[in-house]
Structure 1
Amino acid sequence: MQKFNRRTLLRDSSLAGASLLLPQTAHGRREPRSVRTISIFHTTDLHGHIRPTQTYGGIANVGGLARCAAQIRKWRKSNPHSLLVDIGDVYQGTAVGWMTRGRLMIDLFNKLQYDAWVLGNHEFDWGPEVVLDAVSRSTMPVLTGNLKIEGKQAGTLDDPAHPLSRIAPHTVKTVGGFRIGLIGLTTPGLPYWLRPELLMGYEVTDPVATLRASLRYLREEAKVDAVVVCGHMGLREVDDFANPVRALLELEGGPDVYLAGHTHRDHPSQFENKTLYTQADYFGIHCGRVDLSFDLESRRIVEKRAQSILMDERIPEDPLVLEAASEDLKDADAYLSGEIGELKVELSGKRESPGMPSSLQALISSAAIHAARKEGIQADGVFHGTFGGGNLQPGKKTIGDAWEILPYDNRLLVLNLNREELVGVINESMEAGGDRALFGFEVKLAKAEAPKGETGKRRFVRGLRLLGESTPRSPDHRYSIVFNSYDAQSGGKKLMRLRALAQNPECRPRLLQPNSRQSLVDFFADHGSVTAEAIAPRRVSPEDEE
């Protein structure tokens, strides 16, 4: 994970604007002409963060919607000709977001008078009912054009009273006398992270085709003065399955501005094929601003400028946001402080050797096995990773600790795999990278030379044995293995073999009731005290539970 420090954040944010001025001819004296600047303020990937938080690099007391709101109010006073948009992943990621199922964040957007927002991939983490409620509560358009809803492209639902008819590919806002077209797109990676039941009724479509159609409509029929794309996708050196931004910006007659999200980067400003590209980080750590200056006579853009501002202690938290959120924030704090049990041993996210689970993975895996057992399933093993590792100290543990260990709301999925299939999954995972490991088994690895043109060595499984198994099982024997649902959907196209197995009826896929974090909470609550023995891999018979 990329590391940031405070100096880097400051250098790359408020001081790093960029602009494009149209060339001026110098043929004789011309009458002075006036310009008008339209400002577009933007947030992205808030993930339910209202109060200040910290960066992935450990810089504390930055970000949060409350600080962004204060900065936006200041900007609005300096230029009333403005728009405010969010680029997606609005509410998932904090306890207050989870407890209010997104209600609080959408209500705050309404109070702050956002003009539009985009559906990000994490909007679907809690299922279609939560998406429906969020869209229904929104007083502003929800812009996500590359989405089919109940089989129909966004914006084409027959019933205008249907709440999901608010999801539209584009909208036109008249600001300061100029018509600004806003286009919304989401990442096409949804099906590679989210289980089908979470996307029920929704299907992501090609963002390039959607953008081409919206550009044509806005320029030729709506006659807008500028086009701004709000895309829950971020620019990379090379486009990938989830972020085809370069393909979007290579379209002939592309947008004037692209406001980015999803990749959690502070990207103040750059030009790509005459499109001004900008991204405002994550968790509200930066707040973004674009200024479009128009010639009042020709109605053409004469300057495009973008910047992002670090939301640190210089920016006060907006009192109206804090007041509106106060009760929900208190409830969330009380929830997080609730004790779940005691840990008797220090746990580490560091693995002693490749292929061997860390002690922190042993805790996560033991909780998953416990959850399966409560639903009548005798799981043989768990294939899971950690989110950042680190150490977990002994002592009383709270729900907040469970959130720190497992910040995402992934479900648990049981698959029944034979030895060949299980070995294939492990090999695929080692090639993809990460810290996933198989708990409950002895895994012996070997090294192979890298293919021609590559350096280093690759590891692969040369031996696999269920712990406590005295005699080898037949090759056709199927082991019951617990995975998290994100990995089972491919982990972002990294585990395609596992994705295929999760869709194979012969593997008898079964979702458990709790998500991985709730299984950890239940594990502590049911055990009271969690010892080293409690998380040691072992074969447990039903009699042991009685």
Structure 2
Amino acid sequence: GVATPGMPFWFRPEFVRGIDFQYPIEPVRRAIAKATDEGANAIVLTGHMGLKTRTGGDDFANNVMALTSEFPETAVFIAGHTHQAIPSRMTNGVLLTQADHFGIHAGRVDLVFDRNSKRLLHREAHCELMDNRFHFDHVVISRAKSQLAESEAALAQPIGELAETLRARSQPAHPSDVEKLIGASILESLRGSGVPVDGAMHGVFDEETDVAAGPKTVRDIWNIIPYENYLVTAELSSDEIKMIMEEVYASHEGRNLLGFEMKTEGRGGERRITSMTLANGRPLDRARKYSVAFNTFDSRSGGHRFMKLRALLERPEVNCTLHPLQTRDALIDYFRRHKLVDKIAGAPQLAVAA
């Protein structure tokens, strides 16, 4: 199996120290040669990589086309990462299959060999949707019973109450209610740890689902922030902040900068920032540096989306600092501290809660 070479564009160097995520062609060549020398009758290659969802080709993180073109003797390539259901597809003479993601489908590959010659006669693959036709395996569930109960108890912990429903969908320079809440929790948590910070860039993972008013549990926050991310801060000039946010707007990725107010003109890749102030309306000082927080995923380019941001944060003069605080924990702790949380009226400069 091969890992995606895209890892360094998601993870901070601190998280992958001592691990080299190589372009996979030569490592796979060596592995196939070793397996063949040891008498393998068929080569099945697995990889945390798939086909690009729109074009079906390769990119910085997915090298399926390159691998199947270079090694057409491979019988099967079991793909992943791109969250697609591809039951069976011939790609450069290799049988490709991918069973979607999160266990939504189960995949099966069948290889038929001649018993005498050991020659591969037939190969096929398919994916099965794991719907209500299938029940949990009682052996697995019984063995995991205590861990599942512990997880359920942790997720069910009450943490506070949301006073009114929060809108999830945002627009460039117009953060959603959910983004404002996440930003307020990040700023408050960092400041509470003695870290001076002026703003935080963040987005939401689900713009289609508003966050309903009412009592909240740890599970609700997992639904808002489903992935683990630590926080970094960097010291940036107003021109650098402007460059970062215009790159974000051009990417069409849903992120906003909390703690600042911005006005823009244009659309898509042509959107430009025309004015930028602090949340209290004070103009930015071009001679001053401002401390801005990012989650670790975005700080490493957000998967090749924010390459200018990545390059900027690698420069020593911005003092990019990793903090032992996760974004999800910041939001959970925010509810626990304030108990009743109101909608945040503007870009959060100070924490706002009832």
TM-score range, shorter-chain basis?
over 0.9
Q: Does 1:517 align with 2:328?
A: yes
Larger radius of gyration: 1
Q: 1:201 aligns with which of 12, 18, 29?
A: 18
Aligned-pair CA distance for 1:192: 0.3
- What SS is found at the alignment partner of 2:70? coil
- Pick closer, same or farther for the CA change 1:254–1:432 going to 2, 3 Å: farther
Equivalent AA in structure 2 for residue 467 of structure 1: A
- The answer for the alignment partner of 2:232 in structure 1 is 413
- The answer for the alignment partner of 1:370 in structure 2 is 188
Q: Does 1:227 align with 2:38?
A: no
| CA distance, structure 2, for counterparts of residue 259 and residue 312 of structure 1 | 22
Aligned-pair CA distance for 1:240: 0.5
Q: Does 1:187 align with 2:4?
A: yes
Aligned-pair CA distance for 1:469: 4.3
Q: List per-residue Cα deviations over 1:10-45 (Å, max 9, x = no partner).
A: xxxxxxxxxxxxxxxxxxxxxxxxxxxxxxxxxxxx
Aligned-pair CA distance for 1:253: 4.4
Q: 2:84 aligns with which of 245, 255, 265?
A: 265
- What SS is found at the alignment partner of 1:350? coil
| CA distance, structure 2, for counterparts of residue 315 and residue 484 of structure 1 | 38
Aligned-pair CA distance for 1:348: 0.7
- What SS is found at the alignment partner of 2:32? helix
Could you tell me the percent identity over the aligned residues?
36
- The answer for the alignment partner of 2:174 in structure 1 is 356
Matched-pair contact (CA < 8 Å) for 1:416–1:508: yes
- The answer for the alignment partner of 1:495 in structure 2 is 306
1:366-445 equivalent positions in 2, closer than 5 A: 366-389=184-207, 390-445=209-264
- What SS is found at the alignment partner of 1:287? strand
Tell me how large the CA RMSD over aligned residues is.
1.9
- What SS is found at the alignment partner of 1:232? coil
- What SS is found at the alignment partner of 1:475? coil
- Pick closer, same or farther for the CA change 1:431–1:473 going to 2, 3 Å: closer
- Pick closer, same or farther for the CA change 1:457–1:215 going to 2, 3 Å: closer
1:13-28 equivalent positions in 2, closer than 5 A: none
Equivalent AA in structure 1 for residue 181 of structure 2: L
- Pick closer, same or farther for the CA change 1:523–1:438 going to 2, 3 Å: same
Aligned-pair CA distance for 1:254: 3.4
Aligned-pair CA distance for 1:216: 2.1
Equivalent AA in structure 2 for residue 458 of structure 1: E
- Pick closer, same or farther for the CA change 1:251–1:538 going to 2, 3 Å: closer
- The answer for the alignment partner of 2:96 in structure 1 is 277
- Pick closer, same or farther for the CA change 1:473–1:350 going to 2, 3 Å: closer
- What SS is found at the alignment partner of 1:386? coil
- Pick closer, same or farther for the CA change 1:457–1:223 going to 2, 3 Å: closer
Q: List per-residue Cα deviations over 1:274-313 (Å, max 9, x = no partner).
A: 2111111112221111111112233211111111111122
Moved over 4 A (4+): none
Q: 1:537 aligns with which of 336, 347, 350?
A: 347
1:80-229 equivalent positions in 2, closer than 5 A: 184-219=1-36, 221-229=37-45
Matched-pair contact (CA < 8 Å) for 2:266–2:272: yes
- The answer for the alignment partner of 1:475 in structure 2 is 286
Q: Provide the TM-score with structure 2 as the length reference.
A: 0.94
Q: 2:319 aligns with which of 480, 486, 508?
A: 508
| CA distance, structure 1, for counterparts of residue 193 and residue 313 of structure 2 | 19
- The answer for the alignment partner of 2:274 in structure 1 is 462
- Pick closer, same or farther for the CA change 1:304–1:374 going to 2, 3 Å: same
| CA distance, structure 2, for counterparts of residue 277 and residue 539 of structure 1 | 51
Matched-pair contact (CA < 8 Å) for 2:88–2:126: yes
Aligned-pair CA distance for 1:508: 1.6
| CA distance, structure 2, for counterparts of residue 482 and residue 536 of structure 1 | 18
| CA distance, structure 1, for counterparts of residue 288 and residue 252 of structure 2 | 28
Aligned-pair CA distance for 1:492: 0.3
Q: List per-residue Cα deviations over 1:458-480 (Å, max 9, x = no partner).
A: 2121221112143x343131111
Equivalent AA in structure 2 for residue 190 of structure 1: M
- The answer for the alignment partner of 1:338 in structure 2 is 157
Aligned-pair CA distance for 1:434: 1.6
Q: Which runs of 5+ in 2 are unaligned?
A: none
- Pick closer, same or farther for the CA change 1:252–1:514 going to 2, 3 Å: closer
| CA distance, structure 2, for counterparts of residue 524 and residue 355 of structure 1 | 26
